[in-house]
Amino acid sequence: MENDLELKLTVSEYERQQLIEEAACLNDKMHKTLNLENEKKEAKNKTRGSSAALLLHPEVEVGLGGQSAWDVDGWSST
């Protein structure tokens, strides 16, 4: 009977350790997911700001190697 209890205790401790490790892994994944969601929102907001700037000032170059956004999209002003 005592051996059975010791075995159950050992198994329970092992299962507990496995659950702790799994919880830590899930916690890391959750934080990574939240960070990626925040980065996605920031990128989306930057894109919206860039798009709005292009609509208001299409002649402004936006780092496209000397081409305007119109030239890259096929809407050349010439």
C-alpha distances (whole Å) from 18 to each of 28, 74, 77 are 15, 57, 64
User: Is 78 part of a structural domain of the chain?
Assistant: no
User: Into how many domains does the chain fold?
Assistant: 1
pLDDT computed for residue 29 by the predictor: 98
Domain interval for residue 47: 2-73
- Got the DSSP string for 17-57? HHHHHHHHHHHHHHHHHHHHHHHHHHHHHHHHHHHHHHHH-
User: Is 8 part of a structural domain of the chain?
Assistant: yes
Rounded CA gap, 24 and 54, in Å? 45
DSSP at 2 = H
CB-based contact 53:68 (threshold 8 Å): no
Average pLDDT estimate for 24-41: 97
User: Is 39 part of a structural domain of the chain?
Assistant: yes
pLDDT category of residue 61 using cuts at 50, 70 and 90: low
User: Is 62 part of a structural domain of the chain?
Assistant: yes
Q: Is the model more confident about 51 or about 4?
A: 4
